Amino acid sequence: MSEDKNSEKRKASQKRLSRRDFLVAGGTVVAVDALIATTPAKGIAATAPAAAGTSYPASKGYLVYDSKKCAGCTTCMLSCSLVHYGVQNPSRSRIQIMQDSWGKFPNDIKMSPCRQCVAPVCVQNCPVGAAFVDTANGNVRRINSNKCIGCKTCIKMCPQQPHRPVWVVINGTGKSSKCDLCIDSPYWDEKGGPGGKQACVEACPMMAIKFVSQTPDQEQTEGYDVNLRNDHWINLGLVDNSTVVPTKSLEWKVGGGE
């Protein structure tokens, strides 16, 4: 496991968060007052958060996705839990795919990988520095489970819905975890992180998840939810607009039946 020593040295006592500060991310405005008030661990609020306005180097890697291309097979979720924990369990997955079987396309699926936020609220508010920016590995926003005290602050602070930090039980103890772009994937013989491979990207049969190094638009959901389809997809008869006509006929060339 490679950790950012500089980040680890960031002392909780150095962090301060104004009670008047508000977090603004992804179109969601969250009052910090209320969030800290709901933090379950006692006595930590005063020790931790980084100063408002603290800036972090941007991650050198992001996962973008195409929610119209996703088929909901959840292979990405199971790949994630496998390479990180050696088991298959969607509740441990750092990417969540939710679907409503009766829903109407495209609102029947929601894909929720971690955004590796430019302003990482999880890192900013972790009271013990367990959430950190891994400057040794492309500035990926990570959580050191050995340091995590299970206060769930990162979970409660994450402005995304569903929250991207994931609660997992390790050896009987609850911890937060989050997408590390597969930097620490002990059950996979591949190098992860920026410049490496990500299990969800590699395993997705629809090629609906992609690693990019350019920072997506932070203000709009569409910055991460992109179009990864080409004409081959349209020729399957899968369009997102009824005015689109595949270049190849979908009719049967010969008649008959079973």
Q: Name the one range near other proteins by CB under 8 A: 26-34, 38-46, 55-63, 160-168.
A: 160-168
List the interface residues with other proteins, window 164-183 (CB under 8 A): 166-167, 169, 174
Q: Binding to other proteins by residue 153, rule CB under 8 A?
A: no
Residue with Cβ nearer other proteins (53 or 172): 172
* The only residue of 206, 215, 218, 223 in contact with other proteins, by rule CB under 8 A: 206
Peptide bond connecting 162 to the previous residue in cis, omega within 30 degrees of 0: yes
41 binds other proteins (CB under 8 A): no
Residue 2's CB is within 10 A of a number of other CB atoms, namely 12
- Report the residue from 33, 100, 219, 222 that binds other proteins according to the rule CB under 8 A: 100
For residues 141 and 122, give the distance between their C-alpha atoms in angstroms, rounded to a whole number.
9
The yes or no reply on residue 102 touching other proteins (CB under 8 A) is: yes
DSSP per-residue codes, 19-38: TT-EEEETTEEEEHHHHHHH
Q: State yes or no: residue 83 binds other proteins (CB under 8 A).
A: yes
What's the closest the beta carbon of residue 130 comes to other proteins, in angstroms? 18
Terminal-residue alpha carbon distance, the chain? 56
Give the torsion through C-alpha atoms of 172, 178, 182, 183, to 10 deg: -90
- Binding residue (CB under 8 A) for other proteins from 39, 59, 74, 144: 74
Q: How many C-beta atoms lie closer than 10 Å to residue 233's C-beta?
A: 19
Tell me if 88 contacts other proteins by CB under 8 A: yes
Looking at residue 159, its amino acid is: P
In the list 7, 59, 79, 125, the residue contacting other proteins (rule: CB under 8 A) is: 79
Measured between alpha carbons, how far is 96 from 114 in angstroms, rounded to an integer?
9
Q: Which of 14, 103, 195, 227 binds other proteins (CB under 8 A)?
A: 103
Residue 85 contacts other proteins per CB under 8 A? yes
- Written as six digits, the tokens of 26 are 């992804």
